[in-house]
Amino acid sequence: MSGPRTILVHVTGRDRPGITAGLLRVLAGADVDVYDMEQVVVRERLTLDILIAVPQGNDVLKELLFYGWESGISLDFEVVEDTSARAGLARWAVTIIGQPLGPAALEAATRAIADGGGNIDRIARLSRYPVVCYEFVVVDGAVDAMRSNLVAVAVEHGIDIAIQPESLERRAKRLVVMDVDSTLIQDEVIELLADEAGCADEVRAVTAAAMDGELDFETSLRQRVALLEGLDVAALDRVRDRMRLTPGARTFVRTLKRIGFKVAIVSGGFTPFTDALQRELGLDHAVANELEIVDGRLTGRLVGPIVDRARKARILEEIAAAEGFSTDQVVAVGDGANDLDMLAAAGLGIAFNAKPVVREAADTSLSFPYLDAILFVLGVRREDVERADLSDPTFVKDGLIPVPGTPPV
């Protein structure tokens, strides 16, 4: 006697409560096994697929058709081969972000995946604003080929695409470590201080020499700080008032904290400003360089070791160890060459509006100026963020609920 047939039951129709329960009630009354099940609702239209094993002579398909007729839903049946072998194939999460994100860009991305041997298993929209974001779950494929193809698509269409393993490790991220200048905030603090000291041109010249590779970070930082000698400490308060958070920064940190993340900043800037950000945003850790102050004025010198490229990576490792996490559970975010070691040390390194050398070295790159877009790379839905905000009495009272179509706070 031949064994049971594997049948894919495809259900479509207008969604309403109880349809899935009714279908499962029919299956429960028959001698069948349920191998797999997946459901999605788009604009109140239900699509449900159930993979079942039906013994020879079993009338469950007739019973399902009768239930569908009673319920006003359509059912199709297909005999399929056993697909259990797919369970052992590699799976990848491909996050696509655009503003806008039209069919031409999506077609190019899906073609890039197919050309790399990947098969799209699932598609979900994570956000409609301030950017549009889709997540594809891809089965199999040559990841290097897919990544290369997708990078070319991102450049051609002006979108961001991240590809990472769809695995337990992706969901185990628990610590975010960020750079500050041009990442958490829109400004470069040393330049704001230089404006206060009247030496902006000289500081920019030193910065340019460092960017051209003529000076290392520590040398350039000490030279720029030396130009601030004699600046009154009252200027620090004025600079703090001028700092501008990156759009989406509050949403990003607030959401991370709600879902149990620790959040740290590690900066080549200065402690008066990172300490203020830590207090304002409720950050767990803040590390930066310390300005020497004597008699209420800056001396033009720094106190203690410099937070440079190598030390940023060490601090990341130290914070992770102190919190009980492995570095694989860390997400690092930065924009400059000083962040390269930190991005490499993390389980996921994200170049945010970064210099080309950083974009090329990071695991993934985001070019849209919204810090909370990083949440989508982590698989968080915008709707879930907004739902959490609406249920937070403090958030509602403060009047901080974002209006659809406007940049987030």
Residues annotated as part of the active site: 179, 181
- Report the SS3 class of residue 184: coil
Q: Which of 134, 158, 162 is nearest to 147 (CA)?
A: 162
How many angstroms separate the first and last alpha carbons of the chain?
66
CB 133 within 8 A of CB 125: yes
* CA 157 to chain CA centroid, nearest Å: 20
Residue with tokens 């000490």: 222
Angle, vertex CA 159, rays to CA 153 and CA 164, nearest 5:
75
Token reading at 22: 């009714």
Residue 167, H or E segment: none
Residue with tokens 């299956």: 27
CB 156 within 8 A of CB 168: no
222 φ, ψ (degrees, to nearest 5): -65, -40
Strand-strand pairing, 262-270 and 175-178: parallel
CB 94 within 8 A of CB 150: yes
Task: Give the orientation angle of helix 189-197 with respect to helix 234-242, to 10 degrees.
Answer: 130
